[in-house]
Amino acid sequence: MALAAAYRALSLQSLMRALRGTVAISGMILFIILGAITFSQILSFSGATQGIVTAILGHGLSTLAILAGMMTLLIFLGIFVDQVSMMLITLPVYMPIVQRLDIDLIWFGVLYLICMQLGLLLPPHGLLLMTMKGVAPPQVTMAHIFRAVVPYIAMSIVLLLIIIAFPAIATWLPNILG
């Protein structure tokens, strides 16, 4: 607000327009969070979470195969869903699986965050792509943005594979700090 006032762009009309936009966006985000929390609670109270965990672990898949499936689902969800909703939907199911498989929580958290970020970058509906389009000049098309994001997607995939292959990369500093 101080900068807007300094540039003489602050008026009651522009302030009210900004506040209306903020309320609208905040309301949408809160309703998404409300829906995700409700979904999470229904899964928990109905026992569906335990059933899903038992079904997944009952297939006899390796830890790496289950982890790959969880990460793939996260990447797919990231194309369509925001981060908070993704966490509220998946963590009630993922955490019991991670704990039963005795997966390092820090390592899993790093993989989880990389996959969420990767999903948000993937075309055609990645939320970060839409954000980039919103702040880009009008002459920048979605095709330009899709091409520009390819190196970041490639680097994220390589980083994900490296951290899966060498978990110590993600865990050495927390282990040193205690």
The neighbour count for residue 129, using CB atoms within 10 Å, is: 20
Query: What rounded mean pLDDT belongs to the chain?
Result: 89
pLDDT in tens, 122-178: 888 888 888 888 888 989 999 999 999 999 999 999 999 999 999 999 999 988 987
Domain boundaries, the chain: 12-177
Instruction: Record the pTM.
Output: 0.77
- Gap between the Cα atoms of 133 and 141, Å rounded: 7
Omega before residue 174 within 30° of 0, cis? no
- Gap between the Cα atoms of 102 and 89, Å rounded: 21
pLDDT in tens, 21-30: 899 988 988 8
